[in-house]
Amino acid sequence: MNQFSLSGKHVLITGASSGIGRQCAVSCSESGATVTLVARNTDRLKETESQLNGCRHFSVAQDLSELDAIEDVVKSTVKKNGKIDGFIHAAGIEGTEPITLLNAIKYKSYFDINVLAGLEFSRFLTKKKYCNTSYASLVFIASVMGTLGQPGKIAYSASKGALVNAVKSMALEFAGKNIRVNSISPGIVLTPMTENLFASLDADSKQAIINMHPLGIGTVTDVANACIFLLSDAAKWITGTNLIIDGGYSAK
């Protein structure tokens, strides 16, 4: 028996229309899971769905800042493909702004997607009628910026730090239900967003960012593989952990 397989598991993934979320969806399907994709953009969701292995997958177009709609997403998901065994909250927003340009509305936009949407999904996914309570695993994509500082990252770091610490409390609260909860904190990963950033930088600035990571810039597959591990039976004794995947960035 392959302890790393997701065969027979139903995994719901937010932010599945691009970047880390898209690769998590593709990799989970290749590992045998039935996948529900959640994101705002219908066309990009269809593009992700076309890359999945198998045919039982399901897409839901939903703006996750509309927090009141999240239970309906969970209901439709369970009705379509059965109770949920795994969850990856990959949806998120990132930005670089000094505190002088921040205000309560901007802070709320970070927290709505990066934190509150994930917590709302957790509130519903952990109910018996929606969740496989003999075994389930929730994984949250945080960031090394949740534990480290960087100028211009106040709002982003605050939201990711909140997520990392919320995971610890959820892990303790849900352990009695056989539900594990963990987070993953990547460093800079090569995504379309990162490629756009690099395109706007000169060669020296780009190289300086790369040099922050002793093993180089990561890939979305590096993060997706870690998610698969945490969702799988191979990680059945791991909960409340923040797994850092950053090519050595935080070791300096």
Give catalytic residues, as residue numbers.
156
User: Which positions ≥6 away from 168 have C-beta within 8 Å?
Assistant: 240
3-state secondary structure at position 72: helix
3-state secondary structure at position 173: helix
Rounded to whole angstroms, the Cα distance separating 18 from 25 reads 10
Asked if residues 174 and 233 have their Cβ atoms less than 8 Å apart, the reply is no
Given the structure tokens 């910026």, which residue do they identify?
145
Query: What's 182-220 look like in SS3?
Result: EEEEECCEECHHHHHHHHCCCHHHHHHHHHCCCCCCEEH
Q: Tell me the one-letter amino acid at 112.
A: D
Tokens at 24, concatenated: 């998590």
Q: Tell me the one-letter amino acid at 122.
A: S
Rounded to whole angstroms, the Cα distance separating 81 from 132 reads 12
Given the structure tokens 């490629």, which residue do they identify?
195
